[in-house]
Structure 1
Amino acid sequence: MAPPFAGGEEDEEARWCGLSTDMMEMILKHLPIADHISVSIACKSWRLATSDIILPALRAPWLLGSPMASTSLSWGFYTSSNGGQSLGLEIPTEFQRQWCCGSSKGWLMHLREPRNHSQYYEAHLLNPITGATVELPPFPPTVIKGVISTSPFATDFMLAALCFESTNFDKYVIVYQPRHPRRKKILIDNAMDIMFHHGRLYILTDLAELLVGVFDPRWKVSFKSIPTLFEEEGRHPDTYWGKLVESNDGVFVVYCTITTGAERQQLKVFKIKEWGRHHRIVEVKSLGDRTFFVGPFSDGVSISKMKSSSKLNIIKPDHIYYITGSEYSLWAHCMQKRHTFRVEEFKMTGNILEWFIPKLEDRSNLMVVTPTHSTSLLLTIIIVMLAVIGQCLLGWLSI
């Protein structure tokens, strides 16, 4: 194999783009996750070479965190399956001091205080993997959670933000779509969580009522109400929190009755069943091979065939993982044993934490070929590649 930088610039590009999938996989095994991401977004040929390679750190959701004691926000990413270790990735500097109020389908929603003393804040979407940004219309500073329906570059893109009135704390939802100049404000009594699924807006209230909103081409929304989760039990718990979770085969509702001590929290899971135009909620006793991840301002997500990527074996199937407590500690609920416990192996305490699902397929800002996208990365790959070739030669000579 000829040296990577032998020949002219065109030969150089051809050699980097011509690395085989086997060689790329051998190289990636020796690189940290930050370099995994850089390789996958460097150019189209490297993207294709890495598309069939399953990176262990991408199997489980990441955690977005910022030290609470810090005077300035410094958002960075940490592993959820390897004890909260840093991934060595931070969001761009211009977003570090902005408040992150949404983590949805691979994008983050950020709010920044306006420069003209307006009552509304500047809002942006950020894909921290590709670096793509989307400017949004101004939003009120009281956004609790922002969610999106799909990629903001899709024609059917919508964004919904759960907000509250600063005077009386009444909740409401703002829905935005670029094709419609006016945002839609929906007043919802006691809204607790929101989520998009297949273009529908799901709203969970603290009265355990679930509303399903459908938008027509004229930008009108009609809601269907699904019976309360506690209809069969005949009573409503005094205090509880509820979260919506999206899965490939439907929508789930996780709710937890709050009692004294986190260990005594009782979680229940319900799945929304559809029969034609009718909806029904049924309790689920097991998640099967699924793992649920829920958080304050992130989409609730379901991941199938969850396997830990480290010897710590923190993340397991048929479990629900969530963040709670003043120290933002990680807790888990085992569906099979009906047991709630703190994940002691997870050491990221004293930080603001939220789930983030990396999306690598949105590559709107990729160049056609960028063999020198990162000089340090290329030097690392050269060193690793030479080491791999040396190991192969030594193995061949020993035969």
Structure 2
Amino acid sequence: MAPPLAGDEEDEKARWCGLNMDVMEMILKPLPIADHISVSVVCKSWRLATSDIILPALRAPWLLGSHMDSASLNWGFYTSSNGGRSLGLEIPREFRSQWCCGSSKGWLMHLRQPRRRFREYEARLLNPITGATVELPSFPPTIIKSIISTSPFATDFMLAALCFELTNFDKYVIVYQPRHPRCKKILVDDAIDIMFHHGRLYVLTDSAEIWVCMFDPRWKVSFQYIPTLYEEEDRHPGSYWGKLVGCNDGVFVVYCSVTTGVEGQQLKVFKVKEWGLRGRRRRRAVEVNSLGGRTFFIGPFSDGVAISKMKSSSKLDIIKPDHIYYLAGSEYSLWAHCMQKGRSFRVEGFKPVDHILEWFIPDLEDRSSLMIVTPTHSRSLLLTIIIVVFAVTVRCMLGWLSI
């Protein structure tokens, strides 16, 4: 095979795509996961060469972690399916001293302290795989969780942040849309979680009620109310936490009462169901005893995500279907709730390496923009291309000498 130095564009493309698979795997294997993702968008053969490394890492959400060092947060990514190994991917240095308050649809939201005192914090979105950033308006420093409705480059993009007041700790929701100059403040009593689903904002309250916010083109909001999950006589004593989880066919609520620590928690799952004629549809959350083969991942400031047909590929894989995974306790240990057995347990074989851990869901369905946006690890990717060219050239020269 001649090196790709001459000929028309189609012949050159064919030569690149026809590289020996064994040579490709040998060259690409030691590179970080971000470079594998970037290489995989070049062509089908390159994607096949990287699939053995990319696909196992994407079978379950990643974990975003940090040591909380005084000088730098050192955010990095780790696998969740086979014990928490490092993916060799870190966020850019300029973001390491900033607080991450959101992990949603492949993007992170970071807050940067303003230069002047008594000012709101500067906010930015970061795609840690491509290195792309999006500037946002200022936000209060009391954000508990931030989420996005879709890609920030889409026309229907919206961002919602769950915040609290410093004076009385009352919670409220801020919604931002680039087409409108001002953020919208939504007051919902005792909001504890938020989620976008099909363009609507769902707000879960501490009293186990759900408010659905719908936005029209004029930026006006209307509300739909979903009744309380629990009847008054069925409520559990103690403290509560609740999380919203969205999937293609509906909205779920994971609701938990903690009475005697993590081991004594009582966890229930509800699904929002609709009935009635169009225009008069009614909604209610109904308790379910199965996730339908799905796997739920929930965290403090990440999107609650349902992944379908999570099948174990090895004995080391700790992620199972029909389970709910979450991080709890002072040691940031990984816990799971088995829907079939109706009990929660600490996941063995998972060793957290950091003090702050949160889910990160890489969105790689459309990877075309990776070749447009400059990757964070562009030097490693450039080195990969140089090595590939060198390997092909050497191979051709050896073939020529043997003739």
Which TM-score tier does this pair reach, normalised by the shorter chain?
0.7 to 0.9
What is residue 17 of structure 2 aligned with on the other side?
19
Q: Is the 8 A contact 2:294 2:306 kept in 1?
A: yes
Which letter maps to 1:316?
K
Cα distance in 1, alignment partners of residues 70 and 293 from structure 2: 39
The offset of 1:69, in angstroms, is 4.7
What is residue 393 of structure 1 aligned with on the other side?
none
Which letter maps to 2:357?
L
2:205 corresponds to 1:205? yes
Cα distance in 1, alignment partners of residues 43 and 135 from structure 2: 29
What is residue 366 of structure 1 aligned with on the other side?
371
Q: TM-score, normalised by structure 1?
A: 0.87
Residues 320 and 13 of structure 1, relative CA distance in 2, 3 Å threshold: farther
SS in structure 1 of the partner of residue 17 of structure 2: coil
Cα distance in 1, alignment partners of residues 7 and 41 from structure 2: 18
Q: Is the 8 A contact 2:41 2:367 kept in 1?
A: no
Pairwise CA RMSD: 3.3
1:44-80, Cα deviation, whole Å (9 max, x unpaired): 5337852895711111000000013554211000000
Unaligned runs of 5+ in 2: 396-403
Cα distance in 2, alignment partners of residues 314 and 166 from structure 1: 40
The offset of 1:41, in angstroms, is 2.3
**Correspondent of 2:5 among 7, 29, 37:** 7
1:201-259, Cα deviation, whole Å (9 max, x unpaired): 00001111111111111111111111111027543543111000011111100011102
Which letter maps to 1:366?
M
SS in structure 2 of the partner of residue 131 of structure 1: coil
2:33 corresponds to 1:40? no
1:337-383, Cα deviation, whole Å (9 max, x unpaired): 11211112110155200000112325446249999972433366579
2:331 corresponds to 1:327? yes
**Correspondent of 1:341 among 325, 339, 345:** 345
The offset of 1:100, in angstroms, is 0.4
Which letter maps to 2:57?
A
SS in structure 1 of the partner of residue 43 of structure 2: helix
Cα distance in 2, alignment partners of residues 187 and 17 from structure 1: 60
Q: Is the 8 A contact 2:41 2:368 kept in 1?
A: no
1:295-349, Cα deviation, whole Å (9 max, x unpaired): 0000000001112355312000010000011111110111111121111211015
What is residue 223 of structure 2 aligned with on the other side?
223
What is residue 286 of structure 1 aligned with on the other side?
290
Bigger Cα displacement from structure 2, 66-75 vs 39-48? 39-48
Q: Is the 8 A contact 1:34 1:89 kept in 2?
A: no
Residues 230 and 379 of structure 1, relative CA distance in 2, 3 Å threshold: same
Unaligned runs of 5+ in 1: 390-399
Residues 9 and 43 of structure 1, relative CA distance in 2, 3 Å threshold: farther
What is residue 352 of structure 1 aligned with on the other side?
356
Q: TM-score, normalised by structure 2?
A: 0.86
Summarize the alignment of residues 145-224 of structure 1 with structure 2, pairs less than 5 Å apart.
145-224=145-224
Cα distance in 2, alignment partners of residues 222 and 158 from structure 1: 16
Q: How many residues align?
A: 386
Summarize the alignment of residues 55-204 of structure 1 with structure 2, pairs less than 5 Å apart.
55-204=55-204
Cα distance in 1, alignment partners of residues 231 and 26 from structure 2: 52
Cα distance in 2, alignment partners of residues 305 and 29 from structure 1: 31
Which letter maps to 1:187?
L
